[in-house]
Amino acid sequence: MEESDPPRTIHAVEKASEIIRTLAREGTMGVTDLSSELDISKGTIHTHLATLVQEGYIVKQENEYALSLRFLGLAEHVKDRLEIYDMVQEEIDALAEKTSERAQYAVMESNKTVFVYRAEGENAVRASVGIGEYEYPHCTAVGKAMLAYLPNHRLESVIEEHGLPRRTENTISNATDLKNELDTVREREFAIDNEERARGIRCIATPLRDDVGRLLGGISISGPARRLTDERIENDLKDDLLRSANVIEVNSGLDT
């Protein structure tokens, strides 16, 4: 196999992963519904479910199946790898309360943005991307905030691997335009999603970095475009966001 060839994968593991993702999305499902949803035979679905039940990843509830609580333990192990998680959680909660909007923390993984923690203020609108879900970084403020501080080779790998697919008419879908946008992000220290992922939603975000410039993630504030106006971003939200980022970095010992 050539080095550039895609790695070989195990089809049975792919099917099991599909089942887990579907149950995570739908909650509980029976064999027939899973078979129809995934276009996999009932016999194959049943065999995979029996194996996942035996391994403790799925539980059977009468004639339906659901993810087990084992995933809570796995999630805790993953969070423990993020050394700044506790500090981020505290500050994101405070940021959401102060702004009355939705605040979140995200990191880069597999060249995509993955949302790790979120808090909702009094007037927050519901998020369309769940915790642990992945999104293309070029169409979100927090994604662009992180892209702006990646080494050039990493940025090129993100563009090459995923491209720059459009989410709305405002999505930046040209590599040159994106790089110009990232220059602006570095100049002002924050990024803006101007309805680039979802119509009617704007976001402002800034990266989290250690004292040698290593990227540790990003934090953002999201809300309806009618509330997250340029004036409010410039006069209020920008300072709140940058202050929170500074608190996280300093109190986590990242700048010492």
pLDDT tens digits, 151-194: 999 999 999 999 999 999 999 999 999 999 999 999 999 999 99
Phi-psi category of 56—alpha, beta or left, where left has phi over 0 and alpha has psi -120 to 50?
A: left
Residue-wise DSSP of 177-235 = HHHHHHHHHHHHT-EEEESSSSTTEEEEEEEEE-TT--EEEEEEEEEETTTS-HHHIII
Mean pLDDT, to the nearest integer, of 80-91?
86
pLDDT the model gives residue 256:
42
pLDDT the model gives residue 212:
80
> Domains (ranges, CATH) in the chain?
11-72 (1.10.10.10), 82-251 (3.30.450.40)
Which residue, 139, 226, 249, 198, is CA-closest to 241? 249
In angstroms, rounded to a whole number, what is the distance separating the alpha carbons of residues 46 and 58?
A: 12
**Over 70: is that where the pLDDT of 78 sits?**
yes
